[in-house]
A and B are shown apart, each in its own frame.
Chain A
């Protein structure tokens, strides 16, 4: 089935650093969603993007909907230890609103 490719697969950064990750697809998406999964828990929605070119922030998090509608980016500024977790992009492909496709995930580790 269709998968979204995320990169990098994992990141080890120091507290205070900025983080960038992206998500790409060969198919067009009408909506891009970014989720965070803490260890031992289910994913939680961070940001939703609905329009090509849209830039949306949620605290230290900023996400962008790519102009081609085939990619999206998530940035975290001034990382802190509680940013540790797995970040997933997701979206319903055109014509399949009832089925969300999830990316492969970016695992973030933050060191003090």
Chain B
């Protein structure tokens, strides 16, 4: 069972470059989300989606875009990478917005130089 799959695992970007972190889940979950994890900050919600065609902002949305054209996929786009976006990014999904069992991907390590 694949669960939540994120790519790439590691990426180095130059300041100003754009890129997309891919996320796919095969559990037919309605709810998907992106978090970033920084030392001493825990996990902070960037954007989330409660279903195909619906997205909303989390705690730290600036500099990131998302779209949800299908139930399975929820890509995260960095429009113009900045060193402050150096972080570990986790995609997560759960069956519904109110469900508590959230499944995380393995993470994407992003360095912006």
Residues of A within 8 A of B (CB): 1, 3-4, 6, 9, 31, 33, 40-45, 48, 88, 90, 92, 97-105
Contacts and interface: CB of A to CB of B under 8 A. Distances in A.
A42 B106 contact: yes
Contacts of B45: 99-101
B98 to A, nearest CB: 5
Given A42-B104, A45-B102, 7 more contacts: A1-B44, A31-B100, A42-B90, A43-B43, A43-B90, A45-B100, A102-B42
B41 to A, nearest CB: 7
A105 B104 contact: no
29 contacts: A1-B59, A4-B42, A9-B40, A33-B100, A40-B106, A41-B107, A42-B4, A42-B105, A42-B106, A42-B107, A43-B90, A44-B104, A45-B100, A48-B100, A88-B42, A97-B97, A97-B98, A98-B31, A98-B48, A98-B98, A99-B45, A99-B58, A100-B33, A100-B45, A101-B45, A102-B42, A102-B44, A104-B41, A105-B42
Contacts of B60: 1
Interface in B53-112: 56, 58-60, 90, 92, 97-98, 100-102, 104-107
Interface residues of B, number: 27
Given A33-B100, A103-B42, A98 B105 contact: no
Contacts of B98: 92, 97-98
Contact of B97 (A1, A4, A48, A98): A98
